[in-house]
Structure formats: structure tokens, C-alpha cells
Amino acid sequence: MYDVGIVGAGPAGATLARLLSGRCRVLLLHRQRAKCCGGILAPESQKMLAKLDLALPREVLVNPQPYAVAVWDLQSRLVRHYARQYANIDRNAFDHWLISLIPSDVDVRSGAVYRHAQPLDKERFEIFFTEKDEIRSEQVRFLIGADGSFSSVRREFFTNRLRPKRYIALQEWFDLQTVLPDHSPKNRIDFRNDYVGIFDSEITDFYAWMIPKNERLILGGAIPFENKPRERFERLKTKLKEFGFHFDFPCHREAGSLLRPLNPFSICLGSGRIFLIGEAAGLISPSSAEGISPALASAYYLSQAFGSNGFNLSAYRQNLWSLRWHLRFKTAKIPLMFCPWLRKQIMLTGLSTLD
């Protein structure tokens, strides 16, 4: 029997497995699927990596390395640059790197797909999963859901909890040389080097993005699930054609579910012997969709709440107090960022820009 069964080996699950190794028997179910992610590591994530005594290896980084974000409001046609020390990464390489750090005493089941868990008594679960086309099971004392925004663990055990608003993240990759306009739009954006955040309330009440990666350019957007995401994404490409872009022949397409916690009550950390970390818990920035730093932080703080008797939910909640208030502060910023009229007024002031 295992002490801890972790479902999901993204940044949250892989980090928790590493931190618990040597202290208890850990089973990690790793489904092995690519994450639909722009791959921009925010300063908060870099600080959290430092707290974990980790430094990004060179093979995870890609060019260019942006030092600002260009905010482009398509409706007002305004552009402002805001200083942010981002790191441009290959997200798949980043995830593989974190998994490579897991010690050998952790039982990592690659390709295993979680199905469900059944309580056996007050101290044990039997978890069922598919591995190599066979249904298998193992017994664990504690179950950890680290399986992302559309968490199976959360949906199975916490159906009565308010869920964050659901979005679909869509991304398409293009050859950089073929997609850029013949004549650069008169908006001071360097599309070969800038990380661009695109706002247009006709497309989404969240935002879209353009990110250069080596010789490729990503065009992506987060669109409410109920608002016909594919149609709205195509409308975004049509609007950008007015600026001379050629988004006709993508090299690669990606899509994934994204949850946006607009209400603090939509964050669920677990109960009893079941805990949630990262996006499974709803720990993601409601203003930027940045989820790596909360994933790393929640894994770290849950590991800190582990003692001789297992996990302490009260200690986990207390450890995450500052992070949860930080996310509430980001929720308070939403009217300033996503209300078209207010955003236009703020951009016209030029506050906090590089200009």
C-alpha cells in the first residue's frame, strides 16, 4: 500500500512527488499529454522555483526572452508596453524537466489514466486506472488531485463545490516568416520579439496572445466555453488579417480546458483524506491565467503540511493564505483590465509603461 497517490504529473504533481520522496511511499499517475500553454514563465513562477532551490536549465529556454508585455487593444487600437521579467520556455520541455527531478523511490506510472477511487475504510482508498490497456488498482492512504483544470478527482468527490468559469484555450503555431504582415502595423509592436496580450471584448471577456518562439509564432486565445470558441477564434484571425497578418496555414493546433476562478468560493483545497493542488484546486490567476506559480506553491505548501500522521488540511489552508489573498487581489483588477472603457482610459494615461 502507498501512503500517497498523486493523480497528474504536471508542475504541481511532479513537484509534490519530489518533495514527499524519502518521507513516504508515493504513487504518481502520469497521463503523458501535452499542455496547451503559451509557455511564458511569469516572475512569480521564477521566484517560486528559486524557493524550491531550482534553476531553469538552458534546454528549457527558447528565444526570444521578453522583458515586457505589449498590451494591444484591438477595439481602440491602442498599444502600451508594461515591464515584466518573463522567461520564454518550451512548456513540454519544462514539464519533462520537473519529472526528471523525481527520485527513483517514487513509483511513476507513465501513461496511466485515472478512472475513479473507492474508499475502503476511514484510512484507505483503492484507486483504479488504465495502464497499458489494462484496468489496474492500488491502495493509498491519501489521494491528491493534481490533474489540471478539468480534474477527474475534483469532479468525482467535490461536485457540490462551485466551479470556476470554464474557458477553452486555443492555440495555433505558424512559421514566423510567413505569418508576419508585409508592412508592420503602426503600433510599435515588435512581433519577432514581444510577448503580446490582445484584448477585444467581441472575441472574449478574457484575452488572446501572440508569442514568438524561435522561428515560430503562437496565436492563442482563452474563450468562454459557451461562446462557440472555434468560431470566435477564427473571427480573431480575420480581425488580425486587417493588420496584414497571414494566419492561413498553421503548422500545429492545440486546445485545452481552462478554469478561471472569478469567485473565491470556487477554490477547493479538499477535505478528509483527499487534497487538491494547482489548477485542480482552482489555483490560477483570474487576470492572466498564470497557473505555474500557484501549482508550485500549492505543492510546496501541501508538502509542508505533511507529518507523521499524514496531511493536515488546516495547515495546508493556512500555508496558502497569502496566495489565496493574492488571487483575490488579481480578481479585483479584472474590471480595470477587461472593461473596454476603463482599459482604454488607463492605456491613454500611459501609467506604468516603458514609453
Report the C-alpha gap between 214 and 31 in whole angstroms. 28
Domains of the chain: 2-44+91-164+262-334 (3.50.50.60), 60-88+166-260+336-349 (3.30.9.10)
Query: Do the beta carbons of residue 333 and residue 339 sit within 8 Å?
Result: no
Residue where the block lists cell 505555474: 292
Four-residue CA torsion sign, 113, 117, 120, 122: positive
Whole-number Å distance between alpha carbons of 48 and 110: 26
Residue pLDDT tens, the chain, 355 long: 999 999 999 999 999 999 999 999 999 999 987 788 999 999 999 999 999 999 999 999 999 999 889 999 999 999 998 888 899 999 999 999 999 999 999 999 999 999 999 999 999 999 999 998 999 999 999 999 999 988 999 999 998 888 899 999 999 999 998 998 766 555 678 889 999 999 999 999 999 999 999 999 999 999 999 999 999 999 999 999 988 899 999 999 999 999 999 988 899 999 999 999 999 999 999 999 999 999 999 999 999 999 988 999 999 999 999 999 999 898 888 887 898 888 888 888 865 543 3
Q: What is the predicted pLDDT for the residue at 221?
A: 97
Q: Where are the alpha helices (DSSP H) in 52-122?
A: 91-100
Check residue 350 and give its pLDDT: 65
| 75 close to 201: Cβ distance less than 8 angstroms | yes
Residue type, 78: L
Q: What pLDDT, on a 0 to 100 scale, did the predictor assign at position 351?
A: 56
pTM for the model: 0.93
Q: Alpha-carbon distance 334 to 355, whole Å?
A: 24
Rg (CA), the chain: 21
pLDDT digits (tens, 9 = 90+) for 181-215: 766 555 678 889 999 999 999 999 999 999 999 99
Query: How long is the chain?
Result: 355
pLDDT at residue 186, rounded to an integer: 57
Q: How high is the pLDDT of residue 342?
A: 87
